Amino acid sequence: MLRKISIQLSVGLCLLLTTMTAASAEKTLTLMTHDSFNISKTLVASFEKDNDVKLRFLKSGDAGAALIQAILTKDNPLADVFFGVDNTFLSRALTAGIFIPYRSPLLTTIPPSLQLDKENRLLPLSYGDVCLNYDKEWFKKNNLSPPADLIDLLKPEYKGLTVVENPATSSPGMAFLLATIGRFGADGYLDFWKNLRANDVLVASGWKDAYYGHFTSASKGNRPIVVSYASSPAAVVHYAKIPLTEAPTAAVVGDRTAFRQIEFIGILKGSKEPELAGKLIDFMLSIPVQEDIPLQMFVFPANSAARLPEVFTKHAVVPEKPAEIAPSEIEANRDKWLEAWTNAVLR
Amino acid sequence: MKPRTLLFSLPLVFLLLFYFYPLLRIVLQSFLPDGLWSPEKLENLWTSSTYWRILWFTTWQAALSTILTLLLALPGAYVFARYRFFGKNLFQALLTLPFVLPTVVTAAAFGALLGANGLVNTWLMRAFDLAGPPIRLDQTLAFFLLAHVFYNYSLVLRIVGSYWAGLDADLRAAARMLGASPGQTFFRITLPLLMPAVGSAALLVFIFCFTSFGVVLILGGPGFATLEVEIYRQAVQLYNLPMAAALSLVQIAVNFLLMWLHAKLSRKSPVAFYADTSSGTAIRPSTSWQKSLVGANLLFIFLLLVTPLLALAVRSISGEDGPTLAYYQALFRSDEDSLFFIEPIAAVANSISFALAAMVAAVALGLIASVFLASARGRSTAFWDAVIMLPLATSAVTLGFGYIISLNRPPINLRDSLALVIIAHTLVAFPFVVRCILPSLRQIPQTLREAATLLGASPLQVFRRVELPIISRAILVGAVFAFSISMGEFGASTFVTRPHTATMPVAIFRFLGQPGEMNYGQAMAMSTLLLLVTCTAFWLLARLEVRRSAPAKPLSKDMDHIS
């Protein structure tokens, strides 16, 4: 008897769930983005009220996965606006032709060095720098001076101290590989990696694994140098249980040791609400959102008039001269470089 | 057309609509974007030896994992089939839990236990005063083989165990009476009879290990790449969709061959039998040999399967200054202002609802498909058997992409529907159920059905009153696995998950994506919550098991009554 009831209940539940869809009567604007996207609730509410629209967020995996989904659905786009194309995928995104140009009035507040698309199909929203992070405590305890340049990682006293991510499966891993290419050139980077391999570097599959699995400051691992972000020290302080005055980790920001990842936002071709989408981009580039971005996603705002929060000014550093490679060059040589790296380091 | 054949059209239509159609769309889209065929992108496939190497590696690590799991789990299956002991239900629930864990969490649990700085190593170093960690498993083959056994042990144990419990005790007794030793009985009688279930379980384990993505990547390290990883790389990193699609097809083809071969070899068991009572002939261990066998197996299960889970639970309550409930408190406290805060209750509710719905759908479809396959005669049975298993052997990336480019326009617009998540889960779960139920269904003697028909039962009544009770244990096993697959699913369904359908694995992933001790602790807390919820669900499911109303009365008593 009980079994009959429970079976009927389950079937009923099943049918109920099947008929439920996310239908809504009011206008909806959808923002498609990667999994690390975050924004404050009050800001979203204010936009929704000012424009009489419901904002919906579609998180779609990491940057590469989200972009490829956008490209695959270009005939019937999943959203109106896409945020998360970074400079390593810029060429791919623009060639696919899935964005329409939009000249936002707020473009004047953004430094020209960030505006990589002159046609404004993709507008810069934020930037972050992938670089080495080290555990200050560990280096002090072991009487070693922390690394200041990429070449330091090859020194004998740094043997077995570094963990990097696999560029094939990790976005910061890829960015670090590009940093080494920017630093040592397309002819010299393989030698650097071969030497690094000889110096017992550990390759993890992703940032989570590297940071929480092997970095001494965040786990019981034994690698005090990890590839992470220039803003990670600030994040550690921000998320610490007990308030910290000094960050336990620090970032290496010497010239051409970091790689700048600029993230772009654009209106998807085929959107049913292009004007509202434009308004959303203006909103995202405005001061309130730009000042909210640092503590939500731990990257720096593109709007140069936005003020940084205290934890950033105290604990996050911006590299002055990050390594740079043109987006078209990245797209053209990406698989060649990846294959060469895999052969040099993993096989 | 026979009614059973007609009924099979239901799972077939389901497969056609929700598997073949999306798959076809994505393969066509990949090979012919904008209608142009560009073969140079596929050049590497036959010129470079890399892909052969990857295929070879994927195959042999899957085979090795399968053999290892079988060797370790068969004694366990025997213990669970034959003996009754205190805490049996709890143990059974615990050892199915690994199935549900997302890979990242498993890696964390294993690392915490067996890593270079893990609990075991630190204890050993302190106890024996060693210089370096004696157990070095990080990024080795052994590590992810261990993880494969960890995940799949319960598969073999439950499928083979439930089948073993239903083996006709009379056959064994007859062999002993005719003078066979226990060893002879096992190798000449029991083992051949077990083959259908062993084959089923082995096939499932193989396919799982073959399509393994996270486990190999995280625990084996980037030096080991399976076909699934390569497909992801080609599609997402290198944007070489033709290559990704080609590799997917290779993966499907290889698995299809194996599944077809298995189906051809596993027709009928040599002897037909059925289980008298649903609870089987489980006895309490009495001799010291029996007791030590049971004890040794339970100890092994505890060490291999339960300790990593315990390590996880411990990690979720250990802060920097000792045990704390701070992570659990933080889970339930709404995070400042964050829009994407997933209420743990909502995540639990979502997970359970999807899992229940997927379980019901998978059991229904699986039952129908099994009935068709068991009763079908002819050469095409093996083919249909293999076809049904295809969703398990398909790359999650490919299927996920297929979903987003199809089924998004009227007349079937499922793009934002909750149903799509349930469908994705059901697609992966129902082949499972078929593999659980089919061996049991196949060995019911035809004479039993004929006897019932002769006595006046309609085909439906025959099914309900004769076949269903006999396979009820197998159905339960299938239901349990369908439920756990859905709870822990984090593959193709990531492409169809929408903001309002966040589940527990999604919540765990979100926490792990942020730096800081607090976020990591919350991820561990949510994982422990996942384990607790699933364990409770297993326990409840186990109670649904049909108990036969009363064992059949011996005939003589009735005769006495009449005369």
Nearest C-alpha in A relative to B406: A73
The two tokens of residue B210 are 């073959």
Judged against a pLDDT cut of 60, whether residue B550 lies above it is answered with no
Q: Which of B124-138, B221-235, B471-485 has the lowest mean pLDDT?
A: B124-138
Verify whether the Cβ–Cβ distance B222 to A346 is below 8 Å.
Answer: yes
Best to test chain B binding among A32, A161, A208 (most B CBs inside 10 Å): A208
Size of interface A-B (CB pairs under 8 A): 173
Mean pLDDT, residues B287-294: 87
Coil, strand or helix at B40 = helix
The two tokens of residue A69 are 């989904």
Nearest C-alpha in B relative to A169: B233
Amino acid identity of residue A117, one-letter, is: D
Verify whether the Cβ–Cβ distance B405 to A72 is below 8 Å.
Answer: yes
C-beta separation of A96 from A89 below 8 A: no
Nearest to B360 among A10, A168, A174 (CB): A10
E strand or H helix that includes residue B489: none
Instruction: Give B209 to chain A, closest Cα distance, Å.
Output: 18
Strands A225-229 and A162-165: parallel
What's residue A139's pLDDT? 93
Judged against a pLDDT cut of 60, whether residue B547 lies above it is answered with no
What's residue A105's pLDDT? 93
Q: How confident is the model at residue B562 (pLDDT cuts 50, 70, 90)?
A: very low
The two tokens of residue B73 are 């789990």
Closest by CA to A83, choosing from A29, A134, A45, is A29
Amino acid identity of residue B113, one-letter, is: L
Verify whether the Cβ–Cβ distance A64 to B237 is below 8 Å.
Answer: yes
Best to test chain A binding among B237, B350, B397 (most A CBs inside 10 Å): B237
Amino acid identity of residue B132, one-letter, is: G
A174 to chain B: which residues are within 8 Å by CB?
A: 237
Verify whether the Cβ–Cβ distance A18 to B494 is below 8 Å.
Answer: no
Instruction: Give B405 to chain A, closest Cα distance, Å.
Output: 6
- pLDDT top residue among B378 and A67: A67
A228 to chain B: which residues are within 8 Å by CB?
A: 515
Instruction: Give A211 to chain B, closest Cα distance, Å.
Output: 8
Give the model confidence (pLDDT) of B106-119 as tens digits: 877 887 788 766 77
Q: Which CATH superfamily is domain B3-315+325-548 in?
A: MetI-like (1.10.3720.10)
What's residue A22's pLDDT? 42
Verify whether the Cβ–Cβ distance B108 to A76 is below 8 Å.
Answer: no
Question: What's the half-sphere exposure (Cβ side, CA atoms, 13 Å) at B535?
Answer: 16
Verify whether the Cβ–Cβ distance A17 to B29 is below 8 Å.
Answer: no
Instruction: Give A238 to chain B, closest Cα distance, Å.
Output: 8
A346 to chain B: which residues are within 8 Å by CB?
A: 222-223
| B251 Cβ neighbours under 8 A, 6+ residues apart | B210, B211, B227, B228, B231, B393, B394, B395
The two tokens of residue B540 are 């409840």
B236 to chain A: which residues are within 8 Å by CB?
A: 62, 64-65, 68
What's residue A59's pLDDT? 83
CB atoms within 10 A of CB A260: 25
What's the CA gap between B131 and B136, in Å, rounded?
13
Whether omega for the bond prior to residue B411 falls within 30 degrees of 0, making it cis, is yes
Nearest C-alpha in A relative to B122: A220
Nearest to B116 among A64, A205, A222 (CB): A222
A212 to chain B: which residues are within 8 Å by CB?
A: 108, 512, 520
What's the CA gap between B64 and B85, in Å, rounded?
32
Verify whether the Cβ–Cβ distance A212 to B401 is below 8 Å.
Answer: no
E strand or H helix that includes residue A202: strand A202-204
CB atoms within 10 A of CB B421: 25
Nearest to B515 among A92, A168, A239 (CB): A239
The two tokens of residue B23 are 């798959």
Q: How many residues does chain B have?
A: 563
Residue B242 φ/ψ, nearest 5 degrees = -60, -40
Looking at every residue in chain B, the average pLDDT score rounds to: 81
Separation of CA A41 from chain center? 21
Q: Is the pTM of this model over 0.90?
A: no
What's residue B557's pLDDT? 44
Strands A54-59 and B318-319: unpaired
Best to test chain B binding among A21, A37, A238 (most B CBs inside 10 Å): A21
**Domains contained in chain A, CATH given:** 26-127+260-315 (3.40.190.10), 129-259+318-345 (3.40.190.10)
Q: How confident is the model at residue B558 (pLDDT cuts 50, 70, 90)?
A: very low
Nearest C-alpha in A relative to B397: A65
Instruction: Give B554 to chain A, closest Cα distance, Å.
Output: 27
Amino acid identity of residue A136, one-letter, is: K
> CA B159 → CA A269, A327, B175, B256, distances in Å?
51, 53, 25, 22
C-beta separation of A42 from B339 below 8 A: no
Verify whether the Cβ–Cβ distance A60 to B495 is below 8 Å.
Answer: yes
Best to test chain B binding among A37, A68, A89, A130 (most B CBs inside 10 Å): A68
Verify whether the Cβ–Cβ distance A220 to B118 is below 8 Å.
Answer: yes
Instruction: Give A93 to chain B, closest Cα distance, Å.
Output: 11
Verify whether the Cβ–Cβ distance A239 to B514 is below 8 Å.
Answer: yes
A338 to chain B: which residues are within 8 Å by CB?
A: 237-238
B139 to chain A: which residues are within 8 Å by CB?
A: 202
> CA A179 → CA A129, A187, A327, B162, B233, distances in Å?
10, 13, 13, 56, 20
Instruction: Give A53 to chain B, closest Cα distance, Å.
Output: 16
The two tokens of residue B100 are 């549900």
C-beta separation of A193 from A179 below 8 A: no
Q: How confident is the model at residue B63 (pLDDT cuts 50, 70, 90)?
A: very high
Strands B322-323 and A202-204: unpaired
B356 to chain A: which residues are within 8 Å by CB?
A: 10, 13-14
B499 to chain A: which residues are within 8 Å by CB?
A: 56-59
Nearest to B337 among A20, A40, A69 (CB): A40
Q: How confident is the model at residue B548 (pLDDT cuts 50, 70, 90)?
A: very low
B319 to chain A: which residues are within 8 Å by CB?
A: 241
A347 to chain B: which residues are within 8 Å by CB?
A: 223
What's residue A19's pLDDT? 47
Mean pLDDT, residues B3-17: 83
Instruction: Give A56 to chain B, closest Cα distance, Å.
Output: 8
Nearest C-alpha in A relative to B113: A220
Nearest to A346 among B223, B232, B510 (CB): B223
Nearest to B236 among A10, A44, A65 (CB): A65
Verify whether the Cβ–Cβ distance A13 to B353 is below 8 Å.
Answer: yes
C-beta separation of A59 from A69 below 8 A: no
For chain B, which residues make up each domain, given as ranges?
A: 3-315+325-548
Q: How many helices (H) and strands (E) does chain A have?
A: 12, 11
CB atoms within 10 A of CB B291: 14
The tens-digit pLDDT sequence of chain A (347 residues) is: 666 666 666 666 655 554 444 444 578 899 999 877 888 889 999 999 999 999 988 888 778 888 988 998 888 898 999 999 988 889 889 999 999 999 999 999 999 989 999 999 999 999 999 999 999 999 999 999 999 999 999 999 999 999 999 887 788 899 999 999 999 999 999 999 999 999 999 998 788 778 887 888 887 788 999 999 999 899 888 888 788 888 899 999 988 999 999 999 999 999 999 999 999 999 999 999 999 999 888 899 999 999 999 999 988 888 888 988 888 888 889 888 988 998 899 87
Nearest to B519 among A64, A65, A239 (CB): A239
Judged against a pLDDT cut of 80, whether residue B542 lies above it is answered with no
What's the CA gap between A225 and A218, in Å, rounded?
11
Which 8-state DSSP code applies to residue B55? H
Nearest to A239 among B401, B408, B516 (CB): B516
What's residue B275's pLDDT? 55
C-beta separation of B29 from B241 below 8 A: yes
Strands A99-100 and A249-251: unpaired
Nearest C-alpha in A relative to B512: A208
Instruction: Give A35 to chain B, closest Cα distance, Å.
Output: 8
